[in-house]
Chain A
């Protein structure tokens, strides 16, 4: 039971560092700001003086975006990929950078010692951005709202609304009457399929946020536990695993966003 004593305090919620005008600033929020700043500075530096034949940083950034565009976005979204690239690409690079940054030494290991319930505890200054449910929920909200916006933009408001309040079957029937069984089909569509689609959108929020949070937080816990069992050498393969998981989760978030957007922007029956 000695081991349990040595385990550092693992907190599922991000710890508050300080307050700005009543808003708590947590350590994962600070990490989010750092990765945002890094992305902004790098993309600004890379595109400041664009050249036809890219060199240095511009070359690197162009290669990264091209790999994402040709390898992921075009496969999932086809010709429309360029329209969705800014959103999906930002998701991909932001999540990738935050996940990998969270593995650096200093994250979770450098902190302030504070008195808490009579015990001395360390509050880390930095915590992997996606090891906080608030960050991943914010990303999920962005994604799900963007899916609706793209759907309305590409298909028009009423056509898109028909996905949730399915009156399209009735409209079709009255325009072009035929077999009355089509009315029954339309009623089933309105009463069952529409509500299911609404629930589906809610579930997307849940699955997006919990998948990313669960993977990254579980990775952190895994690394802490392994470091407690065998501090030298043993964490190395697990760090490699976490690098892989960080990439896969970024890929999955971007891919799922693209898939859902493609689904929302395509009319039913058209397929792709």
Chain B
């Protein structure tokens, strides 16, 4: 298979679940903010943390995709 195609598929397949989960986390954070607006700072701090951990999964596949594309 073409290397570009493989690289594209790597990032596409690797980004699906992190994208869905990041959306879900943010939605839940918004909901809790709506219920309890005073809890803003701890919610956003923990949200950023979970987003970072989730996003790392997508970053792994991005690194692999870039490696397939640019490393001979």
Contact = CB atoms under 8 A, between A and B. Distances in A.
Interface centre among B41, B48, B70, B71 (most CB of A within 10 A): B70
B67 interface: yes
Interface residues of B, number: 17
Contacts of A75: 41-42, 45
A116 to B, nearest CB: 12
Contact of A211 (B41, B42, B55, B66): B55
Contacts, number: 46
Contacts of B66: 12, 217-218, 221
Interface residues of A, number: 20
Interface of A: 10-12, 75-76, 207, 210-211, 213-215, 217-218, 221, 248, 251-252, 255-256, 259
20 contacts: A11-B70, A12-B67, A12-B71, A207-B53, A210-B56, A210-B59, A211-B52, A211-B55, A211-B59, A214-B60, A214-B63, A217-B63, A217-B66, A218-B59, A218-B63, A221-B70, A252-B52, A255-B45, A255-B49, A256-B52
Interface of B: 41-42, 45, 48-49, 52-53, 55-56, 59-60, 62-63, 66-67, 70-71
